[in-house]
Structure 1
Amino acid sequence: MTRQRIAITGSSGLIGGALSAYLRERGDTVVRLVRRHPVPPYEVALPAPGESVDELAAALKDVDVVVNLAGAGIGDHRWTTSYKEALRDSRIDTTTTLVDALARCTPKRLVSGSAMGFYGERGEEILDETSSAGSDFLADLVVDWEGCAERATNDGHSVAFARTTLVVSAQGGAFAQMALPAKFGVLGPLGSGRQWWSWISLRDEVRALAHLIDHPEITGPVNLAAPLACRQTGVAKALGRSMRRPAVAPAPEFALRAVLGEMSTQLTVSTRVRPAVLQASGFTWMDSNLDQVLDRLAADLSDHSTH
Protein backbone atom coordinates (compact mmCIF):
# COMPACT_ATOMS: atom_id res chain seq x y z
CA MET A 1 0.00 0.00 0.00
CA THR A 2 1.21 3.48 -0.84
CA ARG A 3 2.44 5.43 2.14
CA GLN A 4 0.36 8.50 2.79
CA ARG A 5 0.73 11.88 4.48
CA ILE A 6 -2.17 12.22 6.92
CA ALA A 7 -3.16 15.32 8.90
CA ILE A 8 -5.05 14.71 12.15
CA THR A 9 -6.95 16.97 14.54
CA GLY A 10 -7.53 15.64 18.05
CA SER A 11 -4.30 13.64 17.92
CA SER A 12 -3.74 14.01 21.67
CA GLY A 13 -7.02 12.27 22.51
CA LEU A 14 -7.62 8.58 23.20
CA ILE A 15 -8.60 7.67 19.64
CA GLY A 16 -6.42 10.24 17.86
CA GLY A 17 -3.31 9.18 19.76
CA ALA A 18 -3.89 5.49 19.07
CA LEU A 19 -4.63 6.18 15.39
CA SER A 20 -1.48 8.30 15.00
CA ALA A 21 0.68 5.52 16.45
CA TYR A 22 -0.98 2.91 14.21
CA LEU A 23 -0.48 4.97 11.06
CA ARG A 24 3.16 5.75 11.84
CA GLU A 25 3.81 2.07 12.54
CA ARG A 26 2.56 1.08 9.12
CA GLY A 27 4.70 3.72 7.43
CA ASP A 28 2.45 6.73 6.98
CA THR A 29 3.54 10.27 7.88
CA VAL A 30 1.31 11.90 10.49
CA VAL A 31 0.97 15.67 10.68
CA ARG A 32 -0.68 16.87 13.88
CA LEU A 33 -3.00 19.87 13.58
CA VAL A 34 -2.80 21.63 16.96
CA ARG A 35 -4.25 24.66 18.73
CA ARG A 36 -1.04 25.42 20.65
CA HIS A 37 2.24 26.63 19.15
CA PRO A 38 3.28 23.92 16.65
CA VAL A 39 6.61 22.11 16.64
CA PRO A 40 7.66 21.64 12.98
CA PRO A 41 7.96 19.69 10.79
CA TYR A 42 5.15 17.35 11.91
CA GLU A 43 2.84 19.86 13.58
CA VAL A 44 0.78 22.64 12.00
CA ALA A 45 -1.23 25.33 13.79
CA LEU A 46 -5.01 25.31 13.60
CA PRO A 47 -6.12 28.94 13.36
CA ALA A 48 -8.74 30.18 15.80
CA PRO A 49 -12.26 30.86 14.50
CA GLY A 50 -12.23 33.92 12.25
CA GLU A 51 -8.47 33.87 11.68
CA SER A 52 -6.93 33.39 8.23
CA VAL A 53 -6.71 29.78 7.00
CA ASP A 54 -3.99 30.61 4.45
CA GLU A 55 -1.16 28.83 6.28
CA LEU A 56 -3.32 25.82 7.08
CA ALA A 57 -4.45 25.56 3.45
CA ALA A 58 -0.82 25.70 2.30
CA ALA A 59 0.08 22.88 4.71
CA LEU A 60 -2.89 20.74 3.66
CA LYS A 61 -1.90 20.93 0.00
CA ASP A 62 0.89 18.48 0.80
CA VAL A 63 -1.29 15.88 2.59
CA ASP A 64 -3.34 13.04 1.13
CA VAL A 65 -5.91 12.63 3.89
CA VAL A 66 -7.36 14.75 6.70
CA VAL A 67 -8.81 13.05 9.79
CA ASN A 68 -10.90 15.31 12.02
CA LEU A 69 -11.22 13.96 15.58
CA ALA A 70 -11.23 17.22 17.56
CA GLY A 71 -13.92 17.89 20.15
CA ALA A 72 -14.45 18.29 23.88
CA GLY A 73 -15.22 14.99 25.61
CA ILE A 74 -18.91 14.07 25.73
CA GLY A 75 -18.60 12.40 29.13
CA ASP A 76 -15.88 14.54 30.67
CA HIS A 77 -18.10 17.02 32.54
CA ARG A 78 -21.67 17.75 33.57
CA TRP A 79 -23.56 19.32 30.69
CA THR A 80 -23.83 22.85 32.01
CA THR A 81 -24.91 25.52 29.57
CA SER A 82 -21.29 26.57 29.10
CA TYR A 83 -20.04 23.00 28.60
CA LYS A 84 -22.74 22.28 26.02
CA GLU A 85 -21.46 25.34 24.17
CA ALA A 86 -17.92 23.93 24.43
CA LEU A 87 -19.10 20.56 23.07
CA ARG A 88 -20.67 22.32 20.11
CA ASP A 89 -18.06 24.98 19.43
CA SER A 90 -15.09 22.60 19.66
CA ARG A 91 -16.60 20.49 16.89
CA ILE A 92 -18.24 23.06 14.63
CA ASP A 93 -15.39 25.60 14.77
CA THR A 94 -12.63 23.09 14.01
CA THR A 95 -14.61 21.43 11.22
CA THR A 96 -15.47 24.81 9.69
CA THR A 97 -11.79 25.82 9.75
CA LEU A 98 -10.75 22.57 8.04
CA VAL A 99 -13.44 22.79 5.37
CA ASP A 100 -12.55 26.43 4.64
CA ALA A 101 -8.89 25.46 4.23
CA LEU A 102 -9.73 22.42 2.10
CA ALA A 103 -11.73 24.67 -0.23
CA ARG A 104 -8.35 25.96 -1.47
CA CYS A 105 -6.91 22.48 -2.08
CA THR A 106 -7.18 19.86 -4.78
CA PRO A 107 -9.60 17.00 -3.92
CA LYS A 108 -8.57 14.98 -0.87
CA ARG A 109 -10.00 12.43 1.53
CA LEU A 110 -11.68 13.77 4.70
CA VAL A 111 -12.62 11.35 7.47
CA SER A 112 -14.58 13.46 9.92
CA GLY A 113 -15.47 12.39 13.43
CA SER A 114 -19.09 11.81 14.36
CA ALA A 115 -21.00 9.84 16.98
CA MET A 116 -23.80 7.35 17.48
CA GLY A 117 -25.50 10.16 19.40
CA PHE A 118 -26.87 11.03 15.94
CA TYR A 119 -29.62 8.44 16.48
CA GLY A 120 -30.78 9.40 19.99
CA GLU A 121 -33.18 7.21 21.98
CA ARG A 122 -34.50 4.45 19.68
CA GLY A 123 -35.63 1.57 21.90
CA GLU A 124 -35.51 -1.79 20.11
CA GLU A 125 -35.01 -0.33 16.61
CA ILE A 126 -32.00 -1.67 14.70
CA LEU A 127 -30.16 1.33 13.27
CA ASP A 128 -27.99 1.44 10.18
CA GLU A 129 -26.53 4.39 8.30
CA THR A 130 -29.84 5.05 6.51
CA SER A 131 -31.74 5.56 9.80
CA SER A 132 -33.02 9.02 10.69
CA ALA A 133 -31.60 11.37 13.30
CA GLY A 134 -32.81 11.62 16.89
CA SER A 135 -34.15 14.78 18.47
CA ASP A 136 -32.11 15.50 21.61
CA PHE A 137 -29.18 17.89 22.19
CA LEU A 138 -26.49 15.44 21.09
CA ALA A 139 -28.40 14.33 17.99
CA ASP A 140 -28.87 17.94 16.92
CA LEU A 141 -25.17 18.61 17.50
CA VAL A 142 -24.08 15.60 15.43
CA VAL A 143 -26.43 16.57 12.58
CA ASP A 144 -24.86 20.04 12.46
CA TRP A 145 -21.33 18.61 12.84
CA GLU A 146 -21.79 16.25 9.90
CA GLY A 147 -23.49 18.97 7.87
CA CYS A 148 -20.49 21.21 8.40
CA ALA A 149 -18.08 18.52 7.16
CA GLU A 150 -20.33 17.65 4.24
CA ARG A 151 -19.71 21.11 2.76
CA ALA A 152 -16.29 19.79 1.69
CA THR A 153 -18.03 17.64 -0.93
CA ASN A 154 -18.90 20.86 -2.78
CA ASP A 155 -15.18 21.30 -3.47
CA GLY A 156 -14.73 17.74 -4.74
CA HIS A 157 -13.43 16.13 -1.56
CA SER A 158 -14.38 12.57 -0.57
CA VAL A 159 -16.02 12.74 2.87
CA ALA A 160 -16.92 10.02 5.37
CA PHE A 161 -18.49 10.57 8.80
CA ALA A 162 -17.15 8.12 11.40
CA ARG A 163 -20.08 7.60 13.78
CA THR A 164 -18.20 6.17 16.74
CA THR A 165 -19.98 4.12 19.41
CA LEU A 166 -18.76 3.41 22.99
CA VAL A 167 -15.03 2.65 22.79
CA VAL A 168 -13.69 -0.09 25.07
CA SER A 169 -10.27 0.88 26.39
CA ALA A 170 -8.43 0.92 29.71
CA GLN A 171 -6.82 4.23 28.72
CA GLY A 172 -10.00 6.30 28.78
CA GLY A 173 -13.57 6.65 27.62
CA ALA A 174 -16.82 5.34 29.07
CA PHE A 175 -15.63 1.82 29.87
CA ALA A 176 -12.57 3.00 31.78
CA GLN A 177 -14.87 5.24 33.84
CA MET A 178 -17.24 2.33 34.53
CA ALA A 179 -14.38 0.17 35.77
CA LEU A 180 -14.11 2.00 39.11
CA PRO A 181 -17.68 1.35 40.28
CA ALA A 182 -17.40 -2.17 38.84
CA LYS A 183 -14.30 -2.73 40.95
CA PHE A 184 -16.38 -2.04 44.07
CA GLY A 185 -19.30 -4.14 42.91
CA VAL A 186 -21.70 -1.24 42.42
CA LEU A 187 -22.03 -1.21 38.63
CA GLY A 188 -25.44 -2.72 38.16
CA PRO A 189 -28.24 -1.73 35.80
CA LEU A 190 -28.25 1.93 34.78
CA GLY A 191 -31.84 3.02 34.47
CA SER A 192 -33.86 0.03 33.26
CA GLY A 193 -30.70 -1.84 32.20
CA ARG A 194 -32.57 -3.04 29.11
CA GLN A 195 -31.25 -0.29 26.83
CA TRP A 196 -28.97 -1.32 23.97
CA TRP A 197 -25.34 -0.23 24.12
CA SER A 198 -23.32 -0.29 20.93
CA TRP A 199 -19.57 -0.60 21.39
CA ILE A 200 -16.23 -1.12 19.65
CA SER A 201 -12.77 -2.00 20.95
CA LEU A 202 -10.12 0.70 20.65
CA ARG A 203 -8.02 -1.38 18.26
CA ASP A 204 -11.02 -1.99 15.98
CA GLU A 205 -11.92 1.72 16.16
CA VAL A 206 -8.42 2.56 14.95
CA ARG A 207 -8.50 -0.15 12.27
CA ALA A 208 -11.91 1.06 11.07
CA LEU A 209 -10.64 4.63 10.78
CA ALA A 210 -7.61 3.36 8.83
CA HIS A 211 -10.04 1.41 6.62
CA LEU A 212 -11.89 4.64 5.86
CA ILE A 213 -8.61 6.43 5.20
CA ASP A 214 -7.66 3.74 2.67
CA HIS A 215 -11.07 3.53 0.97
CA PRO A 216 -12.07 7.00 -0.26
CA GLU A 217 -14.91 5.42 -2.22
CA ILE A 218 -16.75 4.95 1.12
CA THR A 219 -18.61 8.21 1.68
CA GLY A 220 -21.30 9.52 3.99
CA PRO A 221 -22.07 8.11 7.44
CA VAL A 222 -20.29 4.98 8.66
CA ASN A 223 -21.19 3.30 11.96
CA LEU A 224 -18.04 2.32 13.86
CA ALA A 225 -19.37 -0.48 16.04
CA ALA A 226 -18.89 -4.16 16.74
CA PRO A 227 -21.40 -6.34 14.85
CA LEU A 228 -23.53 -7.10 17.94
CA ALA A 229 -24.81 -4.56 20.48
CA CYS A 230 -25.48 -5.64 24.09
CA ARG A 231 -28.08 -4.81 26.73
CA GLN A 232 -26.61 -2.48 29.35
CA THR A 233 -27.33 -4.91 32.17
CA GLY A 234 -25.44 -7.58 30.21
CA VAL A 235 -22.49 -5.21 29.83
CA ALA A 236 -22.51 -4.54 33.59
CA LYS A 237 -22.62 -8.25 34.42
CA ALA A 238 -19.85 -9.05 31.92
CA LEU A 239 -17.65 -6.26 33.29
CA GLY A 240 -18.31 -7.40 36.85
CA ARG A 241 -17.43 -10.99 35.91
CA SER A 242 -14.22 -9.86 34.21
CA MET A 243 -13.26 -7.92 37.34
CA ARG A 244 -14.47 -10.74 39.64
CA ARG A 245 -17.04 -8.50 41.27
CA PRO A 246 -20.83 -8.68 41.45
CA ALA A 247 -22.86 -6.25 39.36
CA VAL A 248 -26.14 -6.02 41.17
CA ALA A 249 -26.59 -2.55 42.68
CA PRO A 250 -28.91 -0.64 40.34
CA ALA A 251 -28.57 3.06 39.56
CA PRO A 252 -32.06 4.44 38.88
CA GLU A 253 -32.47 7.20 36.33
CA PHE A 254 -33.32 9.88 38.90
CA ALA A 255 -30.10 9.11 40.79
CA LEU A 256 -28.01 9.27 37.63
CA ARG A 257 -29.64 12.56 36.75
CA ALA A 258 -28.84 13.95 40.21
CA VAL A 259 -25.18 13.01 39.91
CA LEU A 260 -24.48 13.56 36.21
CA GLY A 261 -27.11 16.04 35.09
CA GLU A 262 -28.35 15.98 31.50
CA MET A 263 -25.32 13.94 30.39
CA SER A 264 -26.86 10.97 32.26
CA THR A 265 -29.34 10.57 29.41
CA GLN A 266 -26.51 9.22 27.26
CA LEU A 267 -26.18 6.25 29.64
CA THR A 268 -29.87 5.39 29.60
CA VAL A 269 -30.75 5.87 25.93
CA SER A 270 -31.10 2.72 23.83
CA THR A 271 -29.11 2.84 20.59
CA ARG A 272 -28.81 -0.47 18.74
CA VAL A 273 -26.38 0.27 15.93
CA ARG A 274 -25.51 -2.05 13.05
CA PRO A 275 -22.25 -1.36 11.13
CA ALA A 276 -23.81 -2.04 7.73
CA VAL A 277 -21.38 0.05 5.65
CA LEU A 278 -18.27 -1.49 7.25
CA GLN A 279 -19.69 -4.98 6.78
CA ALA A 280 -20.53 -4.34 3.13
CA SER A 281 -17.05 -2.92 2.46
CA GLY A 282 -15.28 -6.07 3.66
CA PHE A 283 -13.99 -4.79 6.99
CA THR A 284 -13.16 -7.57 9.48
CA TRP A 285 -13.25 -7.17 13.26
CA MET A 286 -10.58 -8.39 15.64
CA ASP A 287 -13.00 -8.00 18.55
CA SER A 288 -16.62 -9.04 18.21
CA ASN A 289 -16.99 -10.87 21.56
CA LEU A 290 -17.56 -8.38 24.37
CA ASP A 291 -16.69 -10.88 27.12
CA GLN A 292 -13.22 -11.34 25.66
CA VAL A 293 -12.74 -7.59 25.21
CA LEU A 294 -13.77 -6.91 28.81
CA ASP A 295 -11.43 -9.63 30.07
CA ARG A 296 -8.62 -7.79 28.32
CA LEU A 297 -9.83 -4.47 29.75
CA ALA A 298 -9.83 -5.87 33.28
CA ALA A 299 -6.33 -7.29 32.80
CA ASP A 300 -5.07 -3.94 31.47
CA LEU A 301 -6.60 -2.08 34.42
CA SER A 302 -5.06 -4.58 36.84
CA ASP A 303 -1.63 -4.08 35.22
CA HIS A 304 -1.99 -0.29 35.51
CA SER A 305 -2.96 -0.49 39.19
CA THR A 306 0.08 -2.59 40.07
CA HIS A 307 2.58 -0.23 38.43
Structure 2
Amino acid sequence: MELRQLEYFVAVAEELHFGRAAANLAIGQPAVSQQVARLERELGVQLFDRSARRVRLTAAGARLLPEARAVLAAADRVRNVARSGVERPSQTLRLGSSAGMGSRLTGVLGALSDLLPATTTKLVRAPARARLARVASGQLDAAFVRGVTSAGGVELIEVWQDRLLAVLPASYPIGEDATVRLADLAALPLRIVPRQRNAPLFDLVMERCAAAGFAPTLGEHLGSLDDLIAAVGSGSPSWTVIYQPEADTLRHPSVQFVPTEPALLMPTALAVPETATSRQVAPLLRACAAAGAGDHET
Protein backbone atom coordinates (compact mmCIF):
# COMPACT_ATOMS: atom_id res chain seq x y z
CA MET A 1 0.00 0.00 0.00
CA GLU A 2 1.33 3.42 -0.99
CA LEU A 3 0.50 6.85 0.39
CA ARG A 4 -0.42 8.07 -3.06
CA GLN A 5 -3.02 5.30 -3.34
CA LEU A 6 -4.65 6.55 -0.15
CA GLU A 7 -4.39 10.13 -1.41
CA TYR A 8 -6.11 9.22 -4.68
CA PHE A 9 -8.76 7.22 -2.81
CA VAL A 10 -9.54 10.18 -0.52
CA ALA A 11 -9.73 12.56 -3.49
CA VAL A 12 -12.25 10.34 -5.29
CA ALA A 13 -14.23 9.75 -2.08
CA GLU A 14 -14.55 13.49 -1.53
CA GLU A 15 -15.58 14.32 -5.08
CA LEU A 16 -17.41 11.05 -5.88
CA HIS A 17 -16.12 11.61 -9.39
CA PHE A 18 -12.85 10.28 -10.85
CA GLY A 19 -12.47 13.14 -13.34
CA ARG A 20 -12.85 15.92 -10.75
CA ALA A 21 -10.54 14.08 -8.35
CA ALA A 22 -7.88 13.84 -11.06
CA ALA A 23 -8.25 17.55 -11.80
CA ASN A 24 -7.79 18.41 -8.10
CA LEU A 25 -4.70 16.21 -7.99
CA ALA A 26 -3.38 17.70 -11.25
CA ILE A 27 -2.82 14.25 -12.77
CA GLY A 28 -4.51 12.17 -15.45
CA GLN A 29 -7.72 10.30 -14.69
CA PRO A 30 -6.33 6.91 -15.85
CA ALA A 31 -3.61 7.11 -13.18
CA VAL A 32 -6.20 7.75 -10.47
CA SER A 33 -8.41 4.88 -11.63
CA GLN A 34 -5.42 2.55 -11.86
CA GLN A 35 -4.10 3.31 -8.38
CA VAL A 36 -7.53 3.03 -6.75
CA ALA A 37 -8.04 -0.32 -8.46
CA ARG A 38 -4.65 -1.50 -7.17
CA LEU A 39 -5.59 -0.44 -3.65
CA GLU A 40 -8.86 -2.38 -3.92
CA ARG A 41 -6.99 -5.50 -5.08
CA GLU A 42 -4.47 -5.20 -2.25
CA LEU A 43 -7.17 -4.75 0.39
CA GLY A 44 -9.44 -7.37 -1.16
CA VAL A 45 -12.51 -5.13 -1.03
CA GLN A 46 -14.42 -2.89 -3.40
CA LEU A 47 -14.20 0.72 -2.24
CA PHE A 48 -16.53 2.31 -4.80
CA ASP A 49 -19.72 1.36 -6.59
CA ARG A 50 -19.12 2.60 -10.12
CA SER A 51 -21.74 3.17 -12.78
CA ALA A 52 -21.97 5.23 -15.93
CA ARG A 53 -23.87 7.94 -14.05
CA ARG A 54 -22.43 8.08 -10.54
CA VAL A 55 -19.74 6.91 -8.14
CA ARG A 56 -20.62 5.97 -4.55
CA LEU A 57 -18.62 4.72 -1.58
CA THR A 58 -19.25 1.16 -0.54
CA ALA A 59 -19.56 0.31 3.15
CA ALA A 60 -15.89 -0.73 3.10
CA GLY A 61 -14.95 2.57 1.45
CA ALA A 62 -16.85 4.56 4.06
CA ARG A 63 -15.02 2.71 6.84
CA LEU A 64 -11.64 3.31 5.19
CA LEU A 65 -12.12 7.04 4.53
CA PRO A 66 -11.48 8.42 8.07
CA GLU A 67 -8.56 6.04 8.53
CA ALA A 68 -7.01 7.09 5.21
CA ARG A 69 -7.36 10.76 6.16
CA ALA A 70 -5.67 10.04 9.49
CA VAL A 71 -2.76 8.28 7.76
CA LEU A 72 -2.27 11.19 5.35
CA ALA A 73 -2.38 13.69 8.22
CA ALA A 74 0.20 11.63 10.12
CA ALA A 75 2.43 11.55 7.03
CA ASP A 76 2.22 15.35 6.85
CA ARG A 77 3.27 15.59 10.50
CA VAL A 78 6.24 13.29 9.85
CA ARG A 79 7.36 15.52 6.98
CA ASN A 80 7.06 18.62 9.15
CA VAL A 81 9.08 17.03 11.97
CA ALA A 82 11.77 15.87 9.53
CA ARG A 83 12.06 19.35 8.06
CA SER A 84 12.08 21.15 11.40
CA GLY A 85 15.84 20.74 11.79
CA VAL A 86 16.64 22.31 8.45
CA GLU A 87 17.77 25.92 8.52
CA ARG A 88 14.58 27.99 8.91
CA PRO A 89 12.63 26.42 6.06
CA SER A 90 9.78 28.33 4.52
CA GLN A 91 6.51 27.13 6.01
CA THR A 92 3.37 26.14 4.14
CA LEU A 93 -0.15 27.15 5.13
CA ARG A 94 -2.68 24.68 3.73
CA LEU A 95 -5.88 26.62 3.13
CA GLY A 96 -9.13 25.15 1.83
CA SER A 97 -10.78 27.40 -0.72
CA SER A 98 -14.33 27.65 -2.03
CA ALA A 99 -15.64 28.44 -5.49
CA GLY A 100 -16.73 32.01 -6.11
CA MET A 101 -14.43 33.76 -3.62
CA GLY A 102 -12.96 36.01 -6.30
CA SER A 103 -11.67 39.28 -4.86
CA ARG A 104 -12.06 37.96 -1.30
CA LEU A 105 -9.42 35.31 -1.89
CA THR A 106 -7.14 37.79 -3.64
CA GLY A 107 -7.37 40.07 -0.62
CA VAL A 108 -6.70 37.26 1.86
CA LEU A 109 -3.65 36.02 -0.04
CA GLY A 110 -2.25 39.51 -0.39
CA ALA A 111 -2.64 40.19 3.33
CA LEU A 112 -1.08 36.83 4.25
CA SER A 113 1.98 37.57 2.13
CA ASP A 114 2.50 40.72 4.19
CA LEU A 115 1.68 39.16 7.56
CA LEU A 116 3.59 35.89 7.01
CA PRO A 117 6.33 36.64 4.48
CA ALA A 118 8.17 33.36 5.16
CA THR A 119 5.02 31.28 4.62
CA THR A 120 3.73 29.90 1.32
CA THR A 121 -0.03 29.48 1.11
CA LYS A 122 -1.16 26.33 -0.65
CA LEU A 123 -4.78 26.47 -1.82
CA VAL A 124 -6.79 23.25 -1.80
CA ARG A 125 -10.14 22.90 -3.55
CA ALA A 126 -12.59 20.25 -2.36
CA PRO A 127 -16.31 20.01 -1.52
CA ALA A 128 -17.34 21.74 1.71
CA ARG A 129 -17.75 18.55 3.74
CA ALA A 130 -14.36 17.35 2.57
CA ARG A 131 -12.75 20.66 3.53
CA LEU A 132 -14.19 20.41 7.03
CA ALA A 133 -13.08 16.79 7.38
CA ARG A 134 -9.56 17.68 6.28
CA VAL A 135 -9.36 20.52 8.81
CA ALA A 136 -10.56 18.19 11.57
CA SER A 137 -8.02 15.51 10.61
CA GLY A 138 -5.11 17.95 10.28
CA GLN A 139 -4.69 17.73 6.52
CA LEU A 140 -5.64 21.40 6.22
CA ASP A 141 -4.68 24.22 8.56
CA ALA A 142 -7.90 26.12 7.84
CA ALA A 143 -10.66 26.34 5.26
CA PHE A 144 -13.36 28.72 4.11
CA VAL A 145 -16.92 27.39 4.16
CA ARG A 146 -20.22 29.07 3.43
CA GLY A 147 -23.54 28.62 5.20
CA VAL A 148 -22.21 26.08 7.73
CA THR A 149 -23.07 26.61 11.41
CA SER A 150 -21.49 23.57 13.07
CA ALA A 151 -19.11 20.70 12.29
CA GLY A 152 -17.32 18.11 14.38
CA GLY A 153 -13.67 18.65 15.24
CA VAL A 154 -13.48 22.24 14.02
CA GLU A 155 -14.20 25.76 15.24
CA LEU A 156 -16.15 27.98 12.86
CA ILE A 157 -15.40 31.72 12.96
CA GLU A 158 -17.62 33.93 10.80
CA VAL A 159 -15.38 36.32 8.88
CA TRP A 160 -17.79 38.13 6.55
CA GLN A 161 -21.10 37.96 4.72
CA ASP A 162 -21.04 37.91 0.94
CA ARG A 163 -23.82 39.42 -1.13
CA LEU A 164 -25.32 37.32 -3.90
CA LEU A 165 -26.14 39.25 -7.06
CA ALA A 166 -28.76 38.34 -9.63
CA VAL A 167 -27.31 37.49 -13.03
CA LEU A 168 -29.73 38.83 -15.66
CA PRO A 169 -29.65 39.37 -19.43
CA ALA A 170 -28.06 42.70 -20.32
CA SER A 171 -31.37 43.79 -21.87
CA TYR A 172 -33.39 43.23 -18.67
CA PRO A 173 -34.75 46.59 -17.41
CA ILE A 174 -33.36 47.69 -14.04
CA GLY A 175 -34.88 50.39 -11.82
CA GLU A 176 -33.32 53.76 -11.10
CA ASP A 177 -31.79 52.47 -7.86
CA ALA A 178 -29.83 49.83 -9.86
CA THR A 179 -31.41 46.95 -7.93
CA VAL A 180 -34.01 44.34 -8.78
CA ARG A 181 -36.86 43.21 -6.53
CA LEU A 182 -36.89 39.47 -6.08
CA ALA A 183 -40.65 39.45 -6.59
CA ASP A 184 -40.15 40.92 -10.07
CA LEU A 185 -38.15 37.80 -11.05
CA ALA A 186 -41.03 35.40 -10.35
CA ALA A 187 -41.84 34.93 -14.04
CA LEU A 188 -38.27 34.01 -15.02
CA PRO A 189 -36.81 30.49 -14.69
CA LEU A 190 -34.07 30.29 -12.06
CA ARG A 191 -30.90 28.41 -13.04
CA ILE A 192 -29.46 27.36 -9.67
CA VAL A 193 -27.11 24.62 -8.53
CA PRO A 194 -29.00 21.48 -7.38
CA ARG A 195 -29.57 21.27 -3.64
CA GLN A 196 -27.55 18.06 -3.29
CA ARG A 197 -24.47 19.94 -4.55
CA ASN A 198 -24.87 23.14 -2.51
CA ALA A 199 -27.64 23.05 0.08
CA PRO A 200 -26.79 26.36 1.84
CA LEU A 201 -26.93 28.35 -1.42
CA PHE A 202 -30.05 26.60 -2.72
CA ASP A 203 -31.89 26.98 0.59
CA LEU A 204 -30.99 30.65 0.99
CA VAL A 205 -32.28 31.62 -2.44
CA MET A 206 -35.44 29.50 -2.13
CA GLU A 207 -36.25 30.90 1.32
CA ARG A 208 -35.83 34.49 0.15
CA CYS A 209 -37.97 33.88 -2.92
CA ALA A 210 -40.67 32.30 -0.73
CA ALA A 211 -40.55 35.34 1.56
CA ALA A 212 -41.01 37.50 -1.56
CA GLY A 213 -44.17 35.56 -2.35
CA PHE A 214 -43.22 33.05 -5.04
CA ALA A 215 -41.61 29.68 -5.69
CA PRO A 216 -39.27 30.01 -8.68
CA THR A 217 -39.54 27.74 -11.67
CA LEU A 218 -36.24 25.90 -11.94
CA GLY A 219 -34.42 26.03 -15.26
CA GLU A 220 -31.46 23.98 -16.43
CA HIS A 221 -28.28 24.56 -14.44
CA LEU A 222 -25.15 24.06 -16.55
CA GLY A 223 -21.90 22.81 -15.08
CA SER A 224 -19.51 25.72 -15.51
CA LEU A 225 -20.05 29.36 -14.60
CA ASP A 226 -19.10 30.48 -18.11
CA ASP A 227 -21.71 28.17 -19.64
CA LEU A 228 -24.31 29.32 -17.13
CA ILE A 229 -23.67 33.01 -17.81
CA ALA A 230 -23.76 32.38 -21.56
CA ALA A 231 -27.14 30.66 -21.19
CA VAL A 232 -28.57 33.54 -19.17
CA GLY A 233 -27.22 36.08 -21.64
CA SER A 234 -28.81 34.45 -24.68
CA GLY A 235 -32.06 32.78 -25.60
CA SER A 236 -35.15 32.96 -23.41
CA PRO A 237 -34.82 35.24 -20.36
CA SER A 238 -33.74 33.49 -17.13
CA TRP A 239 -31.66 34.34 -14.08
CA THR A 240 -29.15 32.90 -11.67
CA VAL A 241 -27.03 34.17 -8.77
CA ILE A 242 -23.32 34.87 -8.32
CA TYR A 243 -21.26 35.95 -5.34
CA GLN A 244 -20.32 39.60 -5.58
CA PRO A 245 -16.57 39.00 -4.97
CA GLU A 246 -16.56 36.73 -8.03
CA ALA A 247 -18.67 39.14 -10.09
CA ASP A 248 -16.13 41.89 -9.27
CA THR A 249 -13.52 39.96 -11.28
CA LEU A 250 -15.71 39.30 -14.35
CA ARG A 251 -16.83 41.26 -17.40
CA HIS A 252 -19.59 39.72 -19.53
CA PRO A 253 -21.32 42.12 -21.95
CA SER A 254 -24.28 39.76 -22.45
CA VAL A 255 -25.33 39.88 -18.76
CA GLN A 256 -25.53 42.27 -15.84
CA PHE A 257 -24.86 41.57 -12.16
CA VAL A 258 -27.55 43.28 -10.09
CA PRO A 259 -28.08 43.57 -6.29
CA THR A 260 -31.44 42.23 -5.14
CA GLU A 261 -34.00 43.74 -2.84
CA PRO A 262 -34.14 42.31 -0.25
CA ALA A 263 -30.43 41.50 -0.21
CA LEU A 264 -29.20 37.91 -0.43
CA LEU A 265 -26.39 37.55 2.12
CA MET A 266 -24.40 34.34 2.68
CA PRO A 267 -22.21 34.02 5.81
CA THR A 268 -18.68 32.77 5.26
CA ALA A 269 -16.75 31.14 8.10
CA LEU A 270 -13.12 30.23 8.62
CA ALA A 271 -12.90 26.64 9.84
CA VAL A 272 -9.89 25.89 12.05
CA PRO A 273 -9.04 22.83 14.17
CA GLU A 274 -10.58 22.81 17.63
CA THR A 275 -7.05 22.59 19.02
CA ALA A 276 -5.76 25.64 17.13
CA THR A 277 -4.24 28.35 19.32
CA SER A 278 -5.09 32.03 19.07
CA ARG A 279 -1.52 32.65 17.88
CA GLN A 280 -2.04 30.29 14.95
CA VAL A 281 -5.42 31.73 14.01
CA ALA A 282 -4.64 35.44 14.47
CA PRO A 283 -2.82 36.01 11.12
CA LEU A 284 -5.65 34.38 9.21
CA LEU A 285 -8.28 36.47 10.96
CA ARG A 286 -6.28 39.64 10.31
CA ALA A 287 -6.02 38.68 6.63
CA CYS A 288 -9.77 38.09 6.48
CA ALA A 289 -10.39 41.45 8.14
CA ALA A 290 -8.17 43.12 5.51
CA ALA A 291 -10.05 41.35 2.70
CA GLY A 292 -13.35 42.61 4.11
CA ALA A 293 -12.17 46.12 4.93
CA GLY A 294 -14.13 47.63 2.05
CA ASP A 295 -17.45 46.11 3.12
CA HIS A 296 -20.30 48.46 3.72
CA GLU A 297 -23.43 46.35 3.93
CA THR A 298 -21.81 43.03 4.86
Q: TM-score, normalised by structure 2?
A: 0.30
Larger Rg over CA atoms: 2
Q: Report the structure, 1 or 2, having the larger strand content.
A: 2
Q: TM-score, normalised by structure 1?
A: 0.30
